[in-house]
Amino acid sequence: MEMLAINISVAEIVDTLIMTLGVVIVIIVILSYRTQYSIRLHAAHQKIDELSERMKEQETALLNQQHLYDLDKRLANIRAQYPAPARTWTNYYQMQQDIDYLLNGWIAAFEKRTQLAEREIQFCTYLLVYPHLTLDEIAQHICYSEKSIRNYKQRIAQKVGVSSADLYQYLQKDIIAYLDNDNTNPKK
């Protein structure tokens, strides 16, 4: 009888061990699944964040393109009024006023902020309105030599902190930032 009691208790122990082992295996499987799920969930969140960031970048790029398009449309209106730069200062001043009106006072604000000389502002204006003109052609229109104009461009670029090759893009970005920060609707 004692042997039977020992056998039963060994059988009970084996059953308990098998049951415990089963529970441990189930727990391991659940934890493993949970870890895999957590890893997959984390990867999905990262993917969502990456896609969201790309969408924001694309929205920003699209908005910048829209701003550049709007700016070009405004400057095209000026080019339609003033197809080629005039050699006389009178036409330039009228053109400057028209541009300033169209850009909500950007020229005046830019001149004040950068403290550029009047002829430097004139050069920037011509550069914006007539980007298709070479420096030599701009020099001819404002009665300067090409070398003087190159010096102007370099000096202006240096004053605003960009390379002379990037001056045109800088002016475009400056106008767009000015119009965005101005909180007034740009005049059409």
116-141 pLDDT, tens digit per residue, is 888 888 888 888 888 888 888 888 77
What pLDDT is attached to residue 186?
44
Against a cut of 0.95, is the pTM above it?
no
Domain assignment present for residue 76? The answer is: no
Structural domain total, the chain:
2
Domain assignment present for residue 73? The answer is: no
The angle subtended at Cα 93 by Cα 180 and Cα 69, nearest 5°, is 35
Domain assignment present for residue 74? The answer is: no
Domain end among 34, 62, 90: 62
What pLDDT is attached to residue 161?
92
Domain of 170 in residue numbering reads as: 82-188
Distance CA 129, CA 79 (A): 6
What pLDDT is attached to residue 188?
43
CA distances from 109 to 15, 104, 145 (A): 88, 9, 28
Token pair for residue 39?
Answer: 């890893």
Domain assignment present for residue 185? The answer is: yes
Low-confidence ranges of the chain (pLDDT < 50): 1, 183, 185-188
Residues 21 and 106 in one domain: no
What pLDDT is attached to residue 166?
92
What pLDDT is attached to residue 123?
85
